[in-house]
Structure 1
Amino acid sequence: MNDKNSTDPELTGELETEAKPTHIVGIGASAGGLEAIEAFFKEMPPDSGVSFVVIQHLSPDHKSLMAELLSKRTRMPVNRAQDGELVEPNSVYLIPPNKNLRLFHGRIILSEQDRDARGINLPIDIFFRSLAEDQGAKAIAIVLSGTGSDGTSGIRAIKEELGMVMVQAEETAAFDGMPRSAIATGLVDYILPPNEMPTQLLSYLKHPFTAKDEYASTMLNDEDGVTRIFALLRESNKIDFTYYKPTTIIRRIERRMAVNQIHDLSDYVRFLESYPVELNSLHKDLLIGVTSFFRDPEAFDAIADKFLPQLFKEAKEDKLRIWVSGCSTGEEAYSLAILCCEVIEQQNLNLDVKIFATDVDREAILAASAGVFAESAVADIEPGMLSKYFYRRDEGFYISRQVREMVVFAQHNLVKDPPFTNIDLISCRNLLIYLQPVLQKRVLELFNFALNPKGVLFLGSSETTGEMGEYFDPVDHKWRIYQSRGRRRQSELSEPAINFDAKRWYNNNRMSGRGMAARMHEEERLLERLVEGVAGDYLPFCLVVSESLELMHVAGDAKDYLQFTTGKVVNDVSKLVIKDLAIPLSTGLQKVFKSKEELIYSNINLNLAEKHKVVNMRLKPLPTKKRQVMMVAVFIEEVRTSTQSSTSSSETYNVGKEAQQRIIDLENELQFTRENLQATVEELETSNEELQATNEELLASNEELQSTNEELQSVNEELYTVNSEYQGKITELTEVNNDLDNLLCNTRVATLFFDENLDIRRYTPEATQLFRVIDQDIGRPISHLSHRLLDVDLVQLAKEVLINETGIEREKINTENGEEFLMRVFPYQIAPDTYSGVVFTFVSTSGLRQAQNKLVEQELRMEALLKVSDAYVLINEQGEIQEVNQALTDLVGYDESELIDQNISILMPDDFATQHDYFIQRYLKEGNSKIIGTTREVPVKRQDGEIINQHLTVAEMVIGQRHWFVGLLKDQ
């Protein structure tokens, strides 16, 4: 039997010694990525201890070819991934065709591709997310050449788990879509050509933070370094990370040190001081916000089905206010806005929903405000909802105007800045888990203050209300949805925000690394066992008491010295000890805490129920370090024999004397307390008067605020009016812009617009036939523009027009393929006598030139006909004479001026003229005549009335849509 899941000890031992990769590297690529992958593996040594999983969009034939090609580039085995296969070090795994690949406990899990309604599948994102979940900080993602945005969403998950991300430099990628989309996230650690990536990868793997198997930070030993980093972060970004989880802070600092190949914290501090860019990168790493649309869909279903309809029903003045805290890049806020739109549409409601989306990261807020998301970000949205609330443009998805206008984005520090008020729903997911309890409590107090009674608090699946549980009712335990009870703690809101104190953070958290806490616990247990073991044999009965008289620890048999009463449990040692010990213990403790010196009482008589006992009491201050609370150890030892005398340093305890002294001390203390109380009363009276005056001022301020609110309301109405006007203007501008686009496209004139710097502003489609220009060239200078024109200097012409502010027109501008154009260059006018740029227009004259040539040719032919010796006449469709030659005028006796524009019947006998007109009309209608192209004998009428017979030859000329007839007359 060779079952790896067997519980056989020997087999288990084999599993434990099985080699595992130090890290798993996921490589994502699509179009043009094969060359980059080959370049990467050519430089990657085969013994790095790392595993590589390659996810590339290729056809099955190409993928089989890819395995063969990679095997020639690397000495590592190249395998097609198999389902259930354990990933081994120094190996390369290729995703099979039409499969998605995931990792689970280091094993490959294959599944069929699940394409959405748009036919989209994002295997790189799927693998990167599973790699982050499975390997944590040991995950490395590499994005190479490809189109689209696959991989962008996955690298966010990698960075959340403290993994590393490399991206191919855009200028070296055959297709820069995937690299450009990944770089735009701001989460990329290295941007390199593929052949330089292996060297940087190996350097990263050798860093102590990357190489260690378990997290056990030594950075907390460097108090000054941590303090300085906190101070730098606060100075540059105004954010205090004091009360963030120490593990999160330290691990992300160490990760940045690994990325920059810095091993010592003090060196990294100097690096931060010298390079503000790195300080900004560290700030981004500490504030990584991993979010997505409808994260945990079941939770959003619960919000949409149960809570939003109830909130809409109870909304005051038909208004609903929602606060999304820690919104990151806006997916959470837009998801809630879409849900609100859906519920409003389903229930046919008329509500004004306003969503306040806030985050401390300004760059995240700017990205969220744009409302533009990559294809990978919207891959999980239902196709129907995607088409309804998004529209696609320029390889991105834009949120619809209806949703965008519901959300207001603002930079907001949740701890320092005032909270919003009258909120019906607060969403704060996966934020509290990064904060220490003191800050969690502070944030929840602000939420409690902001929420309306019965308002809803929507937390992440790993978060609870903690100490603030009494202020919220859980209404959905699985998805951590709570409802406000309406209680208020306004007094706590008046406290100042928690201030930065890196030393306090250091003292509180320096033992919080993994392993350190366990050692502290073991040390405490060891000391406790030691004290219990020697108590009674070597140590007398002992109490440890704090300065507030709180009993902290007991060692030894306490039955004769301590007593517990019924009722509420108290921890005051003066009330816990027996009556005979109460006065000497209270008196002694007061003296020791005041003098900080050791004190011994001897011969204290104790009257117990069954016996009488004499004891000595020793009160010894314990050593105290800075910031530690002072404590006193009280040792009570029974006097064994009556002959035993007290030591010279002790004083015999006299009940009467000590009681008298105790009474005097208490009376002095009482008198002092009375005086303090009287002074306090006077101060309170004064404060009360000041508060009354302040209250009056606040009332006056409130009235002013009310009037200001009315003014703001009127200003708001004006803004609405202005906004409506602007909307109208925008509509008009859109129509004008559409008209202009249609005009430029339909005139079919090649036109180029340049600004005052001679950079390309706009061009018409016809211009692409003369110039090699695409949309990406907008903004490039004219000197970068190549063209097919001969002997034309565009730069010189543009400069000449800009200087002289007059246009230039040139004819017969020829191209490489023989076309001819009329070129006009005019200044771009923006106001009377004000110009800003140049406009080039090119009108094709090739067709006109050909027509002119044909016309000239026809004219030459006509002149030739006019010079022939035979009589010649040209008539149009109406039979009107258009041209005659000298031979004809000599034959008929008319002058040329007498014949032009006269009907041809003037040269015919009357009966023949009528027949001729009928003939022309019939020919034009039927297009068939035996006369055209033949010679026949016809009578010709001279000016003097004489009839002569001539041979007539008729030919037809068609010019355009017009018909012309040519007749030649010859003697018989």
Structure 2
Amino acid sequence: MSTPDYIVGIGASAGGLEALDAFFQQMPPDSGLSFVVVQHLSPDYKSLMAELLSRHTEMPVQRAEDGETVAANQVYLIPPRKNLTLFHGKLILSEQDASRGVNLPIDVFLRSLAEDQGERAIAVILSGTGSDGTRGIRAIKEQGGMIMAQSADSAKFDGMPRSAAATGLPDFVLPPEEMPRLLQSFVQHPHSAKAEGPGVIVTDEDALTRIFALLREDSSIDFTFYKSSTVVRRIERRMTVNEIGELRDYARYLERHRDEVNTLRRELLIGVTSFFRDREVWEYLEQSVLPGLIENSGKNGLRFWVAGCSTGEEAYSLAIITREVMDRLGLTVDVKIFATDVDRNAVQNAGSGIYPESIVADLPPDLLAKYFQRQDEQFQIARRIREMVVFAPHDLLRDPPFTNIQLVSCRNLLIYLQPVLQKKVLDLFNFSLSADGVLVLGNSETVGDAPDTYEPVDQKLRIFRTRGKRRLPANQESREHSMRTGPSPSGPSGRAARQEHEEERLLGRLVETLGEEILPLILVVSQDLELRHVVGNPEGYLHMPTGRVHHDITRLATADLATPLATGLQKVFKTGERTSYSNVHLRLREEKQVVELRMLPLPTHKGQTPLAAVVIRPQHQQASSSDEAVVYDLDQETQQRIADLEAELQFTRENLQATVEELETANEELQASNEELQASNEELQSTNEELQSVNEELHTVNAEYQSKISELYELNNDLDNLLSANGIASLFLDSQLRIRRYTPALTEVCQITDGDIGGHLAEVCRRLGAQDLPELACQVQRERQPAEREVHLGRGRWYLLTMHPYQVGSEYTSSVVMSLVDVTHLKDTQRALEASQLHFRRLFDEAPHIILLLDPQGRIRELNRTAHERLGSALEDLESPDLRELIPAPPDDEGGHQALESLLKGAPLSEGRIRLRIPDGTEIPAEASGVPEMVEGRVTGARIVLRDMRERAQTGDG
């Protein structure tokens, strides 16, 4: 077993079987990689993935075992009902936690893969529904790993690939059959294969500067002082993805492909975050920091700032726990959270508050149900939480900071900046924070060289408190001043603004001059009766009351003017028409005076506050009162005004009382309905998630079974063709000896048809003329031993009938398989052979000489009739029919023993002389000839012929 160069985590769900087949079909078995396949498996069905996937790859495919070390060129599969993680290169199995609702095994494994392997981690997201894997690839990207996602048009279910691609994190989005080639190219690239960290391309400063210039031109972000190791490593990653070896070549590639500039920017600004990341930090803020801030907030409320908010999870987490603390304390405070990031796309997505369903793994169930609304396969933050957060693009290094902030959260941003920028950012935060403001940093960050600026609240959790205000850096102070005073007067826009400002000043000077000499007293009042502007001398008409300063015209005006002003202005704003009162008596400088009031609405443009002008003229200055003026009777107007106000007040009280009662009733009903709906929603949401999970699992099982069915269909066709081609008539019977299946060759033997399927064996037996076959089949069922016999079916046809018990694996069933093999030709040959044997036997027995057939040891196994007549009595007296016992031992032997031994060793015997000695003392001189019987070069016996020499002598004498 060898250690893999990279470990590839493959996530697949519904429709993933086809994608996995296509992927491994193209993946070489000796790539040096290790593959871990994580699927949504049903806990109730045995997965067939191992044997199905083995058909498409030469690599060993096995289910993961707990504690097993991952080896190169191996494929590991997640078992059912388990979650799989990686720790120090070993696979760890754990039981799925059903209490957490939806289980996300792909996210679980990919996050552990990222933590364990870092840059040596690769994630592949294939077909599936939902968004499992989306959180996992964020962790992979944060650690510098590589990500592939299946293209949506090639996926049978595009939920998982589309969710992964929407994050902008995948390095490749393509069909699964094209992934292996690019995967090999990636791992074999020099920048991927090197063991040391960045440093090779840093020497090419010119090319690096060109790249930074292109990025600043595209996004106005200067990456020059970002941490070089991080920047160079991610540039190298993009070079590897695009299969480019030299930095200068990559710089030219960026100039020609502007979309790659945008991709590189996203890679450098990669924001990896999640809800309530580092849970202990949020618990400390909720229990020890936020309660004090909320209780001491005062009437101005609270202002928080989340810098580098990325996609908004951290800002919403802060809003949620703030809302939780306010509910617990029973306080309502105006809380405004400013969430900023340099990445405009991330800020735009964060503002919608929509996240994939995989966030359920980060959120407690009670907070998920309380502050999130499900929308199809996504969740959206509740509106009351979204209204607490203001998202805005903001460059922390260039744009002015916020002020009067009680809490700043900037987590895992400083680690990407060089020390000089870190110091600058910490000074900006110190300027933004109010007295005793709180700063929250990431777990790898610290205040560094600024201990005089911040004091630790909890050093372990990286929570600090500011010690006091400090001035902004010089460049930030000038920028802050420009933000307050407006744009520079240089340029066309500056000149236009200056000209407009000069015109306003000239108009103001003219009005002031005329107001002293010519114009009457003019008051400009808003719709809420607030005094906005005064032209002329208001002395005697307006006075400043003691106590808190008010701008309400009815309080500033003298008592005699208050009522007509209130009455007239109400009509003006209500009707939009002019109103005039004449003969208004008032005491001015200890003298009685009569004045005329003219109230007219001012022209209002869209978005402007409605205003009205009140013109006050002494009535003796004009020859006659205006025709439009109404003679003002103080008593009558006062009484009428009082009556109108009392009627209006009574009507308002009655309406308000009825409205309050209705609202109380409606509120109680809505509260009850809301509780019921919330409970029902939680139940339905839980049920929907369970059904979705079950649906995916069943689809996976169905795909596996479908593949197995296809395989069985092919095997069935192969079996049918095999049975048809071999020409053997076979019959398959069930345990009741009913016909289940037959081969085409059986049709020629007994005219069986498909209509006979399900019929009893006895029906076929009548056609075969063999009535005892059912009994033979029962014997085979009973003894589980094969049986056979020959059957004659007329017309001279003979068949060998065999019956075998039906075997499944190592077990036998009660079924029987019957076969009929045509042996007519063999039968004819056997009869011919038997006739030949009879003829040979007749010749053998009638031969005049002694003929002996010997075995390899020289024992006589057969002899002819002549040998019986001459040696029969002698053979009966021998203990064993060994020819050597009939031959005298040396020195009386004339070479008979030697000739016999040579014959048994394979040497033919030709006209040798042997003497046979019979136990009665008679000797028979014989002339011997013989040949050995050989099988594959081995002596299996011998044939020997002995001619009695005595007969030859008698014949010769005669």
Q: What is the TM-score when the length of structure 1 is the normalising length?
A: 0.49
TM-score where L is the length of structure 2:
0.50
Who wins on radius of gyration, i.e. which is larger?
Answer: 2
